[in-house]
């Protein structure tokens, strides 16, 4: 039996312990509530475009509740928005040091860290972070896609192909992009191993039969191997699929054995057969005529094109360049004086449907955002109709 004094002490100790536990619970509850209020206030400041106030509230929320992962991500996003990438990187690094981090949180932090490294120009660190992430989550399609884009920027086509193959296996989609990447590999391989380049181009053509890119690489590889007939056939197939290639790639027909006159004749027939794509074929015809020593006929060809399509930018530029070089008809110089004045201006005839940036020449990959198969001809611009018809 406890004595009365001992019992009093035990009861007092129990009461004090219970009181301390209650105070601790209430304190934690209050801290959690305060952290939540600070977080919500920070979000409201973000939405109202008050980044400094948002950063203060979100920082306070993070200090009060270190397990609130969304607070760290919100802070990183805010730092990114302010251009403080070093802070965003530090926040992700600190989060990844936390023990027992949930898998989905760790994956998100690694992805954001890799992307911030890439934005900061630290490509090697970005690459290492992507590799670590994908070793832990090999089927993460978001990470695979972002990593492939990084590899494209670095022109590491072989590794980009490997990553895209994993993406295709995971998602069941993306064969067209894989075909493009194989073509880029072929371009790099061709100078030292034309047969390997041809094999890559053939595989690309099998993956995406409707793409012009593999046909171009098949033609270039055939030329490197001395197979002129095969090159001509592949070039014609490429231009059938993508007429915009005609002004540059189409002239490989000259290397494949056609004379300038034969090439000009073929481009003329294609322009007539494909009325909606007459412009690129007509440009190619004019260049073939110039190479054949028929500059006057080239000017007439371009002039006829401009009568039909006054806003066809490349034709206006080509006419101006021919006249500037000493064109055949002095009177045309006056008629195209506006063209001559704008020769120094960039001709941005193509627009990316993904990022809306404009570019001077057609390409399969947007030089701006890196999207594949998104470049198309920009809407025609209006010019002085009288000058164009002269």
Domains of the chain listed by start with CATH number: 174-241 (1.25.40)
Residue 149, helix vs strand vs coil:
helix
List CB contacts of 301: < 8 A, sequence separation 6 or more.
282, 285, 286, 289
Read off the pLDDT of residues 95-138 as tens digits, 9 standing for 90 and up: 888 778 889 999 999 999 999 999 999 999 999 999 999 999 99
pLDDT at 363: 94
Q: Among 80, 72, 75, which residue's Cα sits nearest to residue 96?
A: 72
Higher pLDDT, 3 or 276: 276
Both tokens assigned to 139 = 């089927």
pTM score, two decimals? 0.78
Higher pLDDT, 313 or 202: 202
Both tokens assigned to 122 = 């630290």
pLDDT category, 8, cuts 50, 70, 90?
Answer: very low
Positive or negative: CA dihedral 31, 33, 35, 41: negative
Query: What is the b/e burial string over 163-199, where b = at least 16 CB atoms within 10 angstroms of the residue's CB?
Result: bbbbbbeeeeebebbbbbbbbbbbbebbeeebeebbe
Residue 359, helix vs strand vs coil:
strand
Residue 67 has φ and ψ, to the nearest 5°, of: -90, 0
Q: Strand 375-377's sheet: what is its strand order?
A: 358-359, 350-352, 375-377
Read off the pLDDT of residues 139-188 as tens digits, 9 standing for 90 and up: 999 999 999 999 999 999 999 999 999 999 998 899 999 999 999 999 99
pLDDT(92) > 60: yes
What's the rounded Cα separation, in Å, for the pair 178 and 167?
Answer: 9
pLDDT category, 52, cuts 50, 70, 90?
Answer: low
């Amino acid at each position: 039996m406890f004595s009365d004094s001992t019992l009093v002490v035990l009861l007092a100790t129990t009461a004090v312990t219970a009181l301390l536990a209650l105070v601790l619970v209430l304190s934690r509850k209050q801290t959690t509530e305060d952290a939540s209020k600070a977080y919500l206030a920070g979000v409201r400041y973000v939405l109202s475009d008050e980044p400094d106030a948002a950063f203060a509230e979100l920082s306070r929320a993070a200090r009060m509740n270190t397990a609130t992962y969304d607070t760290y991500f919100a802070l990183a996003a805010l730092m990114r928005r302010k251009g403080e990438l070093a802070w965003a990187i530090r926040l992700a690094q600190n989060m990844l040091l936390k023990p027992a981090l949930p898998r989905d949180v760790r994956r998100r932090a690694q992805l954001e860290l890799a992307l911030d490294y890439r934005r900061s120009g630290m490509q090697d660190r970005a690459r290492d972070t992507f590799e670590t992430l994908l070793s832990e989550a090999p089927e993460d399609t978001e990470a695979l896609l972002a990593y492939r884009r990084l590899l494209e920027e670095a022109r590491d086509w072989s590794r980009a192909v490997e990553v895209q193959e994993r993406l295709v296996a995971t998602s069941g989609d993306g064969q067209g992009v894989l075909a493009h990447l194989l073509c880029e590999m072929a371009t790099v391989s061709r100078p030292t191993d034309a047969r390997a380049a041809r094999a890559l181009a053939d595989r690309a053509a099998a993956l995406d039969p409707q793409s012009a890119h593999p046909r171009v690489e098949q033609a270039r590889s055939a030329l490197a191997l001395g197979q002129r007939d095969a090159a001509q056939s592949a070039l014609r197939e490429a231009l059938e699929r993508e007429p915009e290639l005609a002004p540059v790639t189409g002239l490989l027909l000259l290397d494949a054995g056609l004379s300038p006159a034969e090439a000009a004749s073929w481009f003329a027939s294609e322009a007539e057969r494909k009325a909606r794509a007459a412009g690129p074929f007509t440009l190619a015809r004019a260049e073939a005529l110039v190479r054949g020593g028929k500059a006057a006929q080239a000017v007439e060809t371009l002039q006829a094109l401009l009568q039909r399509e006054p806003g066809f930018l490349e034709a206006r530029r080509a006419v101006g360049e021919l006249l500037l070089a000493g064109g055949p008809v002095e009177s045309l110089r006056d008629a195209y004086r506006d063209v001559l004045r704008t020769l120094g201006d960039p001709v941005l005839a193509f627009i990316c449907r993904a990022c809306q940036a404009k570019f001077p020449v057609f390409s399969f990959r947007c030089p701006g955002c890196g999207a594949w198969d998104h470049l198309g001809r920009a809407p025609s611009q209006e010019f002085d109709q009288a000058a164009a018809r002269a």
